[in-house]
Every structure is written in C-alpha cells, then in structure tokens.
Structure 1
Amino acid sequence: MTLHDTPQKHGVNYAEATRVWARIAALSFGGPAGQIAVMHRILVDELRWVSEARFLHALNFCMLLPGPEAQQLATYLGWSLHGVRGGVTAGALFVLPGLLCLMALSWIYVLYGHVPAIASIFFGLQCAVLAIVAQALWRVGKRALRTRTALLVAVASFLALRGFNLPFPLVVIAAAAIGWIALRPAVIEPATDATMQRASPLRAAIVAAVLWLLPVVVLFLLFGPDATFTRVASFFSRLAVVSFGGAYAALAYVAQHAVETEHWLSASEMLDGLGMAETTPGPLIMVVQFVGFLAGYRPSGSLLAGTLAGLLTTWVTFAPCFVWIFLGAPYVERLRSNKKLAGVLAGITAAVVGVIASLAVWFALHLLFAAGSMTPDWRASLLTVLALLLLFAAKRGVLTVLAVCAAGSVVLAQL
C-alpha cells in the first residue's frame, strides 16, 4: 500500500474544503483531462483527502453518466467528504468561474464582435477549435474502436447524423441497444469501500430534480411552449439527459437543433462560442451558456434577456448532474460490476466517435468553405493546418494553440 492509498482520517473542515474547491475551479483549464488531473494532484497527491482507489472508482462512475464528468467527479468527491452539502458546494463552485468568464465574453462578443480586430481573433479561434475537435476524435477513436462491432456502430452513427439527419437522441438509444446485445467489455472489479455504501441521499436527488424542472414548467405555464425561453429550457433539459461522451458529442446535438432547426446562432458563432469555452476555466459544455445567451439576445437585442437565457441554460444543463450523483453515488460499486451496463456504455462510446466525426465535418464545411464557395478559404486552411501541426506534431497545449491561431489570424487579416 502506497502513501497515497491511505488518505487522512476524515477530519476535513468544511470551510477549508470550500476554499480548496474554489482553488480547483479556478485552475480547471484544459478540458476534462486537465481538470481531472488538477483534482487528482490536489486531493490525492497533495492533501490526501481521497485515496487513489476511491478517486478512480468515482471517476469510472462519473464516466457512466450523461453530462460533464469532471464537474460530476467534483460533486461526487464533495459528497463523499461532507455529504449533500459538500456535493452541492463542490459542484457549484466548479461551474462558477467559467459561468462568470463566459458571460463576460458573451457581452463583449455581441457588443464588439463586429470590430475587425476582434473578428480576426475569433476567426483564428474557429480554426484552432476545428483542429481541437479533430484531436478529440483521434483520442476517443483509439480508445473506443477496438472491435469490429464498435467500428460498425461508429460508422453507422456518422451516417445516421450526416447522411440521414436522424435525431441525436435516437442515435444514442440505438447505440445503447446494440451495446446491450453485442458488446461485453471487461469490467474491472472495484475494491470494496464501506464508506461508499452510506444511505442514498434520495431526498436531495428529488429536490435537485424538482429545482431542475421547475423553471421549465413555470415558463411553459406562463408563456406557452413556443416562447424562446420555454424552448431554450426544454431543449437544454433534454440535452442534459442524452449528453453522453463529453462536450463534443453533445455539441453535435446542439448544432443539429440550435443552429439548423431553431436558428438561434450560426455555425461560425458556434465555433466562436466553443473557442471562448476552451479559453475559460470549467467544463467545456459551458459553451451552451453562450448558445442560450444568443437565443435570448437575438429577438430583442436585450443584454438582460440574453443574460437570463444564458443563466437558464446553465441551470437546466448542470442541475441534472446533481440528480445523477445523489441518486447513483451510494451504488457506485454495484454499477461498476454490471456487465450489461458496461456493454451499453461501450456502445454509446463507439457511437460518440461517429458523432464527433459528424461534428468535425460539419465545422469544416462551414469554416473552410464559407458562403457556399467551392474552394477552401486559404486563411482558414492555413490556420487549421498550423493548429493541427501544433497539436499532433509539436504536442502543444490547447491554450497555446488558441493563442497562436488568434495572433496568426490578426496578422493574416492585414495581408
């Protein structure tokens, strides 16, 4: 047994834990991998509040759930330290810095986004984001496509979205069914930990579910189903239930509905929002706040309406995360050893590869062949290739790639 396998006895002060969660939130750049690494370094290596085994079991559990796994991991670990109060504190603080930063950037975007220098910066970010999505596709594909069945599921998912424009939830359900029937990945037997088996905080989960759905019901009753705020709340509530596979997979559904069906924003604006989310702390799925902001802002040009719609989007996106954690956390060991559930998740993970590929193609067509041109835009092509080289050949981090592409775009705009 190593030193880090034996955390300190639970005597962690709640106020001290709150300060630590705030610190983790402020340092949570770089997507889920970077955010999870920050939590591991602080909670396992530095403070030894959590054992290595518990951290890994918690991470595996959170990867089974829809929604951002890093934020759910923070919620779970906060719950394991201080119960429901700790879970709410950790999960909420993890989201807060990104919420504030992205809201400020959303205001800047609608007020000054037309300024040539600002527009050039966002164009560079779009090119970097296309390369980042390609990198995510490569990484997920290497991990998920290890059998012929998984490869077929990925290809079918891509064709379903790009070729037949089938709804994203239907693709997820079909992949889950195939995984249930045909995929049986090896299940790692978890170490037992008696402290994980405390009574289910069912009451907290029910309260979280009510708070999640209450705004949707109230908006429906007050304004009807066709009001913008009602549609925003309804759509992002549905997204929260089917957002398996990380932010990039969920964004395929957002692109399908928010861009092509609702026309709340354009494809280039979607890329801009993703670029902003990449540069701010917190979960990458926070980009949906920007989508909600534009949905509320566009009809009237009101910053207040945009702000309220952005906050509403954030609420219905992240409130369900607390429901999943408080319902499932006490049963984490049992869930991890369920082979059929593992098969379902393997099917969904394989489908996610096809979903991310669909998103990458969609982004590439709108960015490289803007305004219906038959030839690719040379500036976009040059910056995208530069971003790909930085990510795959030079092994540079996301923030470096975003900064280089933004600066390069400003320079190219002068030519």
Structure 2
Amino acid sequence: MTYPKEIYKEICFVFARLGLFAFGGPAAHIAMMEDELVTKRKWLTKTDFMDLIGFTNLIPGPNSTELAIALGYKHGGKIGLFLAGICFIFPAMTIVLLLAMFYKQYGEVPLIEAIFIGIKPVILAVIIQALFRLGQTTIKGTKSLLLFLAAYLLSLMGVGEITILILSGLTMLLPQQLVKWRSLHLAVEPMSLTVLFLTFLKIGSVLYGSGYVLLAFLQAEFIDRYAALTSAQLLHAVAIGQFPPGPVFTTATFVGYLIIMGGFIGWLVTIF
C-alpha cells in the first residue's frame, strides 16, 4: 500500500522531534508518544496504543524504540516503520557519537575525569530509581517475589543472564523446582568486529524490559567475559547514554566506539 508523501513527512517530523527531546528513559518516551500521537494527532485510539505496548513487551529489545517502530508501521506501512525507527534513534546516536569522540580524546584529562566522577552517583541513583519503579510493576505476589530472589541469587553465583532468563521462563511455565545452573565459560576470542556484532546480536535477541536491563548484559559480556571495558568506562557509557534525549540503549553505540579502534565502525556495528 502506498501512502501520501505528507504521511511520511509527518512521521519523520514527529519521531525526529521525539528523538531529540524525549529525555527520561522508556517510561517518559511512551508517555510522550501517547500524548503526541493519541491525544493530539489522533493517529490511533488509546486501546490500540495499549495493545502495541503489550506487543512490544512480549519481544526482546528496547521497548520504547520498538513502540516507535510499530507506530510508524501502523501510520505509514513498511516505509513508515523504517522512517520512525531511524528518526527516533538517529538524534541520540549522533549526540552519543560526539560525546564518545570527546571522551576518547579527553577522557584522561583531570577536568573531564572530575566531571565523570560527579556524574557517577547521579547515574547510580537514576538506575536504582528505575529498578525500583520496574520492581513495583513486575513483582506482584509471592511467586514473582520468590522468582526475583532466586534470579538475584543465581546472578550473584555467576550464572549468565541468558541462562537465568530461560530458567525463569521455565519456572513460570512448568510446576517444577528451579535448577541452579552454572554458566559455561567458553574460550574468549580477542575482541573484533565479528565478536562485537555477535555479542550485541545475542544481547538484542534476549533483552526483555527497558534499556536499563542492558546494563547487566554489558557488565557480563564486556567486563566480566571479554575484559574489553573497565567498570569506570561502563559507568561513563551509562552517563553518556543518559545525557542525550532518545532511547537509553544508545549507550551501546558509545561502547562500540570505545572498544573498536576504528571508532566509527564499532559505532555502526552496534546499531544493527
């Protein structure tokens, strides 16, 4: 189906503006989309909007970005899907790239280090607050609380995130006791474009929830497994990801730029 060019222009304008000014993480992004597209522009009903939110919560990946893509498809078909995704992601990605370049060039300067030291407590507070809000909506009842505690204990024991996700899903699906598995430690390859791409592909395929869940995966893969980043660099990446508008997961583009010496190539690889 072919849509008028005005539809595509409207999609580009709306999502580029959201990507440029949507500060506050996934919850804020979704609220702004509802206000803009349901209340003001009447693209769809509130019921349809809630259905799309439910759909994006059933699949892995960053929820607010997936919602933007779904809204673009609903309003402008396949072309609208791509336009909405690109326009929503690109502003934050570009800002993060510029900040990553600045960090890589001047990150060791005492003044810059002092700025990041001041940012770290704020970022930790933001993460804790986000986790608390997420916990309020997801931990309902004794069963979900016990599952959360079991998953937390498994994480402390060193079990991989993917294994925990599978075990948790099976525990909710099947009436059997949760079995404690230890994650398999495979031979570590030197970090390369291929490893970087496959690592982010794996993360993207099993990442449920908001962009904040990405942090645990980045810690496990790039600090614990490959030692490609330091804890300080990850905190800096989170700080940079929080600074611009748009989806929080643009933190990944900062990580890709730092890890790969080519810089821009690593930045592009993490997008896909």
**TM-score, normalized by the shorter chain, greater than 0.5:** yes
Alignment counterpart, residue 166 of structure 1, candidates 156, 159, 163:
159
Alignment counterpart, residue 249 of structure 1, candidates 182, 205, 213:
213
Are residues 1:310 and 2:267 paired?
yes
Letter in 2 for 1:296: I
SS in 2 for 1:232: helix
Are residues 1:96 and 2:90 paired?
yes
Deviation at 1:238, TM superposition (A): 0.3
| Partner Cα separation in structure 1 for residue 32 and residue 45 of structure 2 | 15
Letter in 1 for 2:259: A
User: Is the Cα contact below 8 Å between 1:258 and 1:264 reproduced in 2?
Assistant: yes
Do the aligned partners of residues 123 and 226 (structure 1) sit closer, same or farther apart at CA in structure 2, a change above 3 Å counting? Answer: closer
Letter in 1 for 2:29: Q
Deviation at 1:227, TM superposition (A): 5.5
Deviation at 1:147, TM superposition (A): 1.5
Partner of 1:289: 253
Letter in 2 for 1:279: F
User: Is the Cα contact below 8 Å between 1:27 and 1:38 reproduced in 2?
Assistant: no
Partner of 1:53: 47
User: Is the Cα contact below 8 Å between 1:98 and 1:281 reproduced in 2?
Assistant: yes
| Partner Cα separation in structure 1 for residue 237 and residue 244 of structure 2 | 11
Are residues 1:117 and 2:74 paired?
no
Q: Deviations over 1:21-47 (max 9, x none)?
A: 222221221100111111111111111
> How many residues matched?
256
Partner of 2:180: none
Do the aligned partners of residues 158 and 227 (structure 1) sit closer, same or farther apart at CA in structure 2, a change above 3 Å counting? Answer: closer
Alignment of 1:1-400 (within 5 A): 13-162=7-156, 164-181=157-174, 226=190, 228-297=192-261, 305-315=262-272
Q: Radius of gyration: which is bigger?
A: 1
| Partner Cα separation in structure 2 for residue 76 and residue 43 of structure 1 | 12
Deviation at 1:16, TM superposition (A): 2.4
Do the aligned partners of residues 248 and 107 (structure 1) sit closer, same or farther apart at CA in structure 2, a change above 3 Å counting? Answer: same
Unpaired segments of 5 or more residues in structure 2? 176-188
Letter in 2 for 1:308: I
User: Is the Cα contact below 8 Å between 1:68 and 1:247 reproduced in 2?
Assistant: yes
Deviation at 1:226, TM superposition (A): 4.9
TM-score (norm 2): 0.90
Deviation at 1:118, TM superposition (A): 1.3
| Partner Cα separation in structure 1 for residue 121 and residue 10 of structure 2 | 41
User: Is the Cα contact below 8 Å between 2:18 and 2:246 reproduced in 1?
Assistant: no
Q: Deviations over 1:215-237 (max 9, x none)?
A: xxxxxxxxxx7561111011000
Q: What percent of counterpart residues are identical?
A: 29
Q: Deviations over 1:48-95 (max 9, x none)?
A: 122111111111111111111111111101101111110111011111
| Partner Cα separation in structure 1 for residue 127 and residue 9 of structure 2 | 38
| Partner Cα separation in structure 2 for residue 147 and residue 17 of structure 1 | 41
| Ranges of 4+ aligned residues in structure 1 off by more than 4 Å | none
Deviation at 1:137, TM superposition (A): 2.0
Q: Deviations over 1:238-292 (max 9, x none)?
A: 0011111222222212101101221111111101110111111121111111111
TM-score (norm 1): 0.60
Q: Deviations over 1:97-119 (max 9, x none)?
A: 11100000000001111222211
Unpaired segments of 5 or more residues in structure 1? 1-9, 183-224, 298-304, 316-415
User: Is the Cα contact below 8 Å between 1:293 and 1:309 reproduced in 2?
Assistant: yes
RMSD: 1.6
| Partner Cα separation in structure 2 for residue 83 and residue 137 of structure 1 | 35
User: Is the Cα contact below 8 Å between 1:264 and 1:291 reproduced in 2?
Assistant: no
